Amino acid sequence: DGEIPESHPRYESLLTRHRIEEGVDKGITSRQGLIAQGRGEAFDYLLGERTLPSADDAERAAAAHLLLAERPVISVNGNVAALVPGETVELGEATSADIEVNLFNRTDERMTAIADHLCEHGAGEVKGLTADGRIPGLDHERAKVDADGIGDADVVVVPLEDGDRAEALGAMGKTEIVIDLNPLSRSAQAADVPIVDNVIRAVPAITEHARDLADADRETLESIVAAFDPDEALAAAERAIREGSDADAAED
Ligand code: ATP
Ligand code: MG
């Protein structure tokens, strides 16, 4: 958008930050979302602002899970809506997944603003506004979901989900795909498929894998799912952070 020269060494990171600022201005992203962004930037910096081979494996496993699912749902919060609205719609189309707005600090204004924003980026139906379902074990506001959306889903993609809700969704028996740059966060630890990567890179990457696997048979998809090890994915990300940029590449 003209303001940041593409030659800037941290161009992508600055562009991302700018999109979050715009999201706050538009009433899509919360002030807590700004803090989450700052945390994410720090971890992305430590990971070398790239997709680790282990994260790419997780993105492929996520695509396989979504293609095998009967009722897959992608959860969208204020950061995801600001950063990857069109890419989220495309992922939904590539995997026949519903999109549901799901906020940590739920207000009707922000729910509507995000749903409208997603529709402007090509979404047909956006769930989350009905809020006739509940996640057991959470307080009232944070438990709200659509009964025929996340409430009834077998596979959920929860980017940047808060730790409590990630654990509660897991306890409901759902297969959880978490996108979170912090491999130590409870959300990532609770996931069946933790994707330690920036949503900016992860969402399009899952879509690409889903398109690549579109004609694969169930057996192939199931073997991709079975071969994925969440603990190993988290350990690889942690190694990359501790040992620098070559550790992950050397071992994969
Ligand atoms: P908990 O341990 O309860 O999960 P938390 O440290 O995750 O707590 P939050 O600040 O609510 O607390 O979570 C934000 C998370 O989202 C952080 O782990 C951060 O690294 C991650 N994050 C922020 N921006 C991005 C992004 N663009 N892509 C992927 N992950 C992101
Ligand atoms: Mg978290």
Residue 196: the pLDDT is 98
Residue 197: the pLDDT is 98
Residue 174 amino acid letter: K
CA 114, distance to chain mean position in Å, is: 16
Give per-residue pLDDT as tens, 94-118. Answer: 999 999 999 988 999 999 999 999 9
* Burial group, residue 8, by CB count within 10 angstroms (0-12, 13-18, 19+): exposed
Residue 63 included in any domain:
yes
Residue (of 72, 66, 76, 160) closest to 119 by Cα position: 76
Give per-residue pLDDT as tens, 172-223. Answer: 999 999 999 999 999 999 999 999 999 999 999 999 999 999 999 999 999 9
Which residue minimizes the CA distance to atom 12 of ligand 1? Answer: 162
For the chain, the farthest-separated pair of C-alpha atoms sits apart, in whole angstroms, at 49
* Tokens 């994925």 sit on residue: 228
Number of domains the chain contains: 1
Interface pTM, i.e. ipTM: 0.93
Residue 2: the pLDDT is 57
Ligand 2 mean position, distance from CA 162 (Å) = 4
Q: Is 36 near ligand 1, meaning CB less than 6 Å away? A: yes
pTM of the model: 0.94
Which residue minimizes the CA distance to atom 28 of ligand 1? Answer: 198
Residue (of 158, 35, 185, 154) closest to 102 by Cα position: 158
CA distance 221 to 244: 32
Residue 72: the pLDDT is 98
Residue 64 included in any domain:
yes
Residue 157 amino acid letter: V
Residue 237 included in any domain:
no
Q: Is 30 near ligand 1, meaning CB less than 6 Å away? A: no
Greater confidence (6 vs 192) lies with 192
Ligand with minimal distance to 159 CA:
1
Residue 234 included in any domain:
no
Residue 245 included in any domain:
no
Give per-residue pLDDT as tens, 16-49. Answer: 999 999 999 999 999 999 999 999 999 999 999 9
**Which CATH number does the domain housing residue 208 bear?**
3.40.50.12640
Domain containing 67: what range?
A: 1-225
CA distance 65 to 72: 9
Residue 125 included in any domain:
yes
Residue 168 included in any domain:
yes
pLDDT greater than 80 at residue 147: yes
Residue 241 included in any domain:
no
Residue 252: the pLDDT is 47
Give per-residue pLDDT as tens, 46-86. Answer: 999 999 999 999 999 999 999 999 999 999 999 999 999 99
Residue (of 150, 146, 236, 228) closest to 191 by Cα position: 228
Distances (CA, A) of 219 to 68, 160, 222, 223: 10, 30, 5, 6
pLDDT greater than 90 at residue 246: no
Exposure string of 9-28, with b = 16+ CB inside 10 Å and e = fewer, is eeebbebbbebbeebbeeeb
Ligand 1 mean position, distance from CA 217 (Å) = 35
